[in-house]
Structure 1
Amino acid sequence: MRESWLLLTLCLGGCASQLQTTNIQREVGDFDLKLGSAPTRSMAQGLVKPQTSGQVHGGFDLTHSSGWYLGQWAPDLAPEQGEQLTMETYAGFKHPVDDHFGYELGTLLNSYPSVGQMEVEEYYGGLTVFGHRLGASFSLDPDRQDRTLLANFDLQESLGFQVIVKYGNHVLQSPVALADGANVRVFNDWSVNLSRPWLGFDLNLSYSASSLSDGECSAYSGFNTRCDGAMRFQASRPL
């Protein structure tokens, strides 16, 4: 069964990449099938997303009318010599109870078909309450464990902007040795992003940091681009 899913993903992803299309959507009975060369789904309110690491990538996503879904994604269908083909297989349930409340639960598994290994497991959940969104994920890797929380507060009507807060806890299986002889095994990181539209522009102000000091930043491997405190402002306008 696993080989069948793999073959399907390889064919669909390769064809989609050659045709340079985005996604194709079809209704199959009570199912909604999407396939192509661009990820069609993000989970846990955007906290968990299929990754792209090569020029040739693709996959499929199948959703039932009841809310159940499953899919498979290949970040790189043509890995370079010495690299392994990675497959991301996910399954979950997403259900909007009404206009103000909804929830999602699911799991994602990273596997390496060429060597028959399954190494990375990720469990996630999401919650929507009156337009505000909460997401959580727990990743179990042989080398580390990552726990991440996300809160997205939509304050457009009351204050005119949106706030996204992200917090992560990371536990390494093997401590990282520092130059001064100390070790780092556990660290936290976080980010805060404020965004609002203004005169046709999208304004974004963000701050990110971690629990590591300057001398410990060589051990950092979290979700931020930098270990130390960093402030960034960005203004963009769609053409």
Structure 2
Amino acid sequence: MKNTLLNITLASALITGSLATSSAFAVEGLSANVGATSNYLWRGVTQTDDAAAISGGIDYEHQSGFYAGTWASNVDFGDDASAELDFYLGFGGELGQGVGYDVGYIYYAYPDSAQTDSANEYDFGEVYGSLSYSYFSVSANYGVNNDDGAKWADSALYISADAEFEVTEGLTLGLHVGDYSFDDDYKSDDYSDYGVSLSKGGFTFAVSDTDMDNDDMKFTVSYSIDIDL
């Protein structure tokens, strides 16, 4: 695992250097991100069979509040799928009195998930919205337009609350709790997840757990950077 994560970090550095070289041709509002993690967790659940992941994305944000972007990572679900490719767009801004909002749509694609089984295609989408104030934020994601292999995602609702505090200069403490509920056909799969993280200088150490049976607490170390393009 240590060697794998080291190789991913080195690859991230090489990609970063390449992106930085192109920054001379900057486009206002355009940025990129590159990251590596010891375990890609999504809502408390590993997406890489508890293995390391490397990710990257490109975002565009307009001064009006509109934004759009894409993000990719390796995944491992024990089937054909080896990559996740997300596309999203939304609009964010201020409601006044320090209250911020964000609404949008995200599509999760797994391009090679159905290579050997056409019924295993499980792309799905979500509409989302969030409100934030000071250190706190609450958000809701609702599943829509899923493929046949992702029927569980249809009408699924994920609600979460997060808080971030700077405990000392440059060191941020993050707190998270989420609840994932599904429609009647998958009601027994409902679960909650919890997390605590410390972040500084692009590095994040996190502890995450869920209330699912036979699910152990997970510790992750990750590094990410943002680059203006």
Over alpha carbons, which structure has the higher Rg?
1
Per the normalisation by structure 1, the TM-score is 0.51
User: Which structure 2 residues correspond to residues 59-74 of structure 1 after superposition, within 5 A?
Assistant: 59-74=57-72
State the 1:186 CA deviation. Answer: 3.0
Q: 1:112 to 1:95 in 2, by over 3 A?
A: same
Instruction: Give unpaired runs (5+ residues) of structure 1.
Output: 1-15, 40-45, 176-184, 197-201, 211-216, 219-224
CA RMSD of aligned residues (A): 4.8
- The runs of 5 or more residues in structure 2 that have no matched partner are 1-10, 37-41, 115-120, 168-172, 199-203, 222-229
The aligned residue for residue 33 of structure 1 is 30
Corresponding residue of 2:4? none
Give the stretch that moved more between structures: 94-103 or 17-26. Answer: 17-26
1:65 deviation in Å? 1.0
Q: TM-score, normalised by structure 2?
A: 0.53
Cα shift at 1:207: 7.1
Q: Cα gap change, 1:149/1:112 in structure 2, threshold over 3 Å: closer, same or farther? A: closer
Write the letter of the residue equivalent to 2:192.
Answer: W
Higher helix fraction (1 or 2): 2
Residue number among 119, 125, 129 corresponding to 2:129 in the alignment = 125
Contact kept? 1:169, 1:186, Cα under 8 Å = no
Amino acid at match of 2:106: L
Q: Per-residue CA shift, 1:175-204, capped at 9, x if unaligned?
A: 6xxxxxxxxx434322455789xxxxx999
CA–CA distance in structure 1, aligned partners of residues 125 and 177 of structure 2: 24
Q: Higher RCO, 1 or 2 (CA under 8 Å, sep at least 6)? A: 2
Q: 2-side partners of 1:98 and 1:208: how far apart?
A: 35
Tell me the distance in 2 between the aligned counterparts of 1:206 and 1:58. 22
Change over 3 Å in CA distance of 1:94–1:118 after alignment to 2: farther
| Equivalent residue in structure 2 for 1:147, among 157, 180, 184 | 157
Alpha-carbon shift at residue 20 of structure 1 (Å): 3.7
Corresponding residue number in structure 2 for 1:21? 16
State the distance in 1 between where 2:181 and 2:31 align. 34
- Distance in 1 (CA, whole Å) between partners of 2:132 and 2:159 is 14
Task: Tell me how far 1:169 sits from its aligned partner.
Answer: 0.9
Structure 1 residues 133-172: aligned runs within 5 Å: 133-140=137-144, 141=146, 142-145=150-153, 146-153=156-163, 164-171=176-183
Q: 1:105 corresponds to which residue?
A: 103
